[in-house]
Copies of this chain bind each other. A is one copy, B any other.
Amino acid sequence: MTKLQITVDIVLFTILERQLHVLLIRRLAEPFRGSYALPGGFVLENESVDEAAHRELREETGVEKVFLEQLYTFGEPNRDPRGRVITVAYYALVANSHILRSGTDAADAAWFALNKLPPVAFDHQNIIEYAQQRLRNKLDYSNVGFELLPEKFTLTELQLVHEAILGANLDKRNFRRKILQQGIVEPSKEWQKTGRKPAQLYRFVD
């Protein structure tokens, strides 16, 4: 009897060039050596599953203190050729200002746009699609969009985040009205001066 094992896998999203991207890591070991896979690893004896997800994300990508939420548990008997491995999938969001640590674990990590994914190991393609769907749904009834932005942001940047997640264009005036009358942002005293015309920087309020 082979031992049953539990892993966590994390779908880490960010926005790059107005598109939703996912972090993948090239596998150095068999099986699926050389192909890309989600960051993740085994759950240790004395940590919760949530802690394992945070730890693996930190070890493999250097990313800490991010939004991280459990997604679904994938438990088909043959999803991993090494034996019986059940994985608890998570998804996480980082602003693109976060920088990936270049360490041994993260040696070959890279961001991929969702419509340009390479072939991925195991059932990770499924997991990624499931995460994307969850993120879209969640955008409707929560403030999850802010997790993909730095502390201060313009309303146009926020709109681009929503458009990237939904994969659709939104009307600028309707979007701004909706966000402002929800009262979930407040103007900071700063203006973004990098564009043609200065733009008001906002901050998320809880």
Contacts and interface: CB of A to CB of B under 8 A. Distances in A.
Interface in A37-51: 43, 45-50
Interface string A65-104: 0000010110111000000101010000000000000000
The A contact surface, by secondary structure, is loop
Interface string A1-40: 1111110000000000000000000000000000000000
B76 A48 contact: yes
B1 A4 contact: no
B45 A6 contact: no
Q: Which of A4, A5, A73, A77 has the most CB of B within 10 A?
A: A73
B77 A50 contact: no
B88 A75 contact: yes
A163 to B, nearest CB: 22
Contacts of A88: 73, 75, 86
Contacts of A47: 77
Contact of A1 (B45, B48, B77): B45
Contacts of A49: 73, 75, 86
A48 B75 contact: yes
Contacts of A45: 1-2, 4, 77, 84
A-B CB proximity, top 4 nearest: A49-B75, A73-B73, A48-B76, A73-B88
